[in-house]
Structure 1
Amino acid sequence: MPRDSLIRLAVFLGVLAALLLAERLRPWRRATPARWPGNLGLGVLGALAVRATLPAAAVGAALWAETRGIGLLAGAPLWLALPVALLALDLLIYAQHRVSHAVPLLWRLHRVHHADPSVDATTALRFHPLEILLSMALKMAAVVALGAPPVAVLAFEVLLNATAMFNHAAIRLPPRLERALRLVLVTPEMHRTHHSEVPAETDSCFGFCLPWWDRLFGSYRAAPAAGEAVVIGLPGWRAEAEQRLDRLLLQPFRRVP
């Protein structure tokens, strides 16, 4: 396994284990583990799909561009290229996420993520493999266009994965800490608004890592209107049978049950 893959895997397992423990110690809601096989299964299939079809992935694309001097940041010093690449890639993911809600065909894929009737750290893995492939292809193209340094791309991939698990985690942060973190990071309370069943709330708070894009582009909502009573998921897809891996894989091609 390439070194960057080992780094990503080690961080992923460590963060997932820590968040699952935090969900037991400071729970927001008790999320049923019955959803875990489907969520984890999608995560594994998505990783395998990328390895089978886009084995170089984003870090490989960065290495390819670097050896050829391609991209806007080619030749720039690392102290400049690193933060610019991190900000640009995070903005890209924000934009991609927002478009996936606006384009019906993309929404059918992304709907698999929102159909989770609960949120916890495993929800961050619940993406259809086709959406994962599209996202990776977009990232690879952006990395080449930017000429992003490989170390910046690796840092972004690790950061995105870790923060996505964090902001989906079913944990209750102390209010003062939550308010402070929200200034620089998408928090679980902020992201739960995005998983509300209310369409106007689902179409808000698109950030995964940095919260600034939502504020800048007018998609920020401080909290769901229902507060702590917010209903998670999408009507019609909450049944336990719909959480099976086979049903999740076929969901984009099916109508609401």
Structure 2
Amino acid sequence: METIIRLTAALGIFGVMIGWEYFSPRRPLPIGRKQRWPINLGLATFNMLLMRLTAGGIAYLSAIAAAEKSWGVLNWFAAPAWLSIIMTLLFLDFAIYAQHFVLHKWPLLWRLHQVHHTDLEFDATTAVRFHPLETMISMAYKVLCIYLIGAHPGAVIAFEVILNGASTFNHSNVNIPPAIDKKLRWLIITPDMHRIHHSTIPAETDSNYGFSVSWWDKLCKTYTAEPKHPQTTMTIGLKPFRRQAELGFMKLLLLPFKPLRRR
């Protein structure tokens, strides 16, 4: 049931966002969908099958196990359900922000995470462009956080849905009026805010690490409000990777094992 809930929500949100992108795009995408989507969706499918075969539902099952064995801070203090849910969501949200920061700062992990940033355009499919090893490491880290906090099982399901939905939304090439975007940023991460993180300018790439709420970037001083170049013309991706031909499916799988290119 947990898998059905997550998959249904993910497909529904993805469908809404690609429809929005089609009818009201924020910026033109010179590299067509036929060139990029098979790679991005191929990685997503590969990751989904890999996780299903090796660690399907492990996040939710870890929360159940933690509750049964009274592991984790929230279980030690027998926190009421409402507090446990709120604390689980906030803790996991910040944990993913911290993880994203480390992925950029630790060269070994950057080897994996650079696959996500090699996309030369920015749309909803960019949200699922991850190397399988990064996906597995991220899940292991998430499980560790779940045991540490003693996460509420229901909140873990909600968090997985929020994580996927927010990532799809803030990677989308959708047009949101600037005045509305500015107000939304008081609470959530908008596509314009996260697009800055995919800039080729290193100082911009190393900012705006959050995935759902904008608080952590502002509190930790990793927030960049506006890019150096306009949102509609800024260059997306990494400077060492500017040819679509070298970004095929198999080449991306092997990329972490090749000499690391300077950004």
**Bin for the TM-score computed over the shorter chain:** over 0.9
Which moves more between the two structures, 235-244 or 222-231?
235-244
Structure 2 residue aligned with 1:103: 106
Shift of residue 54 of structure 1? Answer: 2.1
Deviations 1:63-119 (A, max 9, x none): 111111211111211110111110100100000000000000100100000000001
Q: Do residues 63 (structure 1) and 64 (structure 2) align? A: yes
Count of residues in correspondence between the two structures: 255
Structure 2 residue aligned with 1:20: 18
Shift of residue 219 of structure 1? Answer: 0.2
Structure 1 residue aligned with 2:249: 245
Q: Which letter does structure 2 place at the counterpart of 1:6? A: I
Contact 1:119–1:232 (Cα < 8 Å) also in 2: yes
Structure 2 residue aligned with 1:184: 187
Shift of residue 156 of structure 1? Answer: 0.4
Structure 2 residue aligned with 1:232: 236
Q: Do residues 223 (structure 1) and 226 (structure 2) align? A: yes
Which moves more between the two structures, 99-108 or 49-58?
49-58
Q: Which letter does structure 1 place at the counterpart of 2:126? A: T
Q: Which letter does structure 1 place at the counterpart of 2:20? A: A
TM-score (norm 1): 0.96
Contact 2:70–2:150 (Cα < 8 Å) also in 1: yes
Structure 1 residue aligned with 2:211: 208
Deviations 1:196-230 (A, max 9, x none): 00001000000011110000001000011112221
Contact 1:191–1:205 (Cα < 8 Å) also in 2: yes
Pairing 1:34-45 to 2, within 5 Å after superposition: 34-45=35-46
CA distance in 2, matches of 1:102, 1:237: 19
Which moves more between the two structures, 241-250 or 100-109?
241-250
Note the residue ranges of structure 1 that are not aligned, 5 or more in a row. Answer: none
CA distance in 2, matches of 1:227, 1:73: 45
SS of 2:114's partner is helix
CA distance in 2, matches of 1:240, 1:204: 25
Q: Which runs of 4+ in 1 moved over 4 A?
A: none
CA distance in 2, matches of 1:195, 1:17: 23
Note the residue ranges of structure 2 that are not aligned, 5 or more in a row. Answer: none
Shift of residue 59 of structure 1? Answer: 0.7
Q: Which letter does structure 1 place at the counterpart of 2:22? A: R
SS of 1:142's partner is helix
SS of 2:73's partner is coil
1:122 to 122, 125, 129: 125
CA distance in 2, matches of 1:188, 1:56: 29
Shift of residue 239 of structure 1? Answer: 1.5
Pairing 1:161-200 to 2, within 5 Å after superposition: 161-200=164-203
SS of 2:74's partner is coil
Contact 1:50–1:57 (Cα < 8 Å) also in 2: no
CA distance in 2, matches of 1:54, 1:12: 18
CA distance in 1, matches of 2:230, 2:245: 28
Identity between Structure 1 and Structure 2 (%): 45
Contact 1:27–1:172 (Cα < 8 Å) also in 2: yes
Structure 2 residue aligned with 1:85: 88
TM-score (norm 2): 0.94
SS of 2:240's partner is coil
Cα RMSD, aligned residues only: 1.3
Q: 1:196 to 1:52 in 2, by over 3 A?
A: same
CA distance in 2, matches of 1:62, 1:152: 9
Contact 1:116–1:238 (Cα < 8 Å) also in 2: no
Shift of residue 238 of structure 1? Answer: 2.9
Structure 1 residue aligned with 2:9: 11
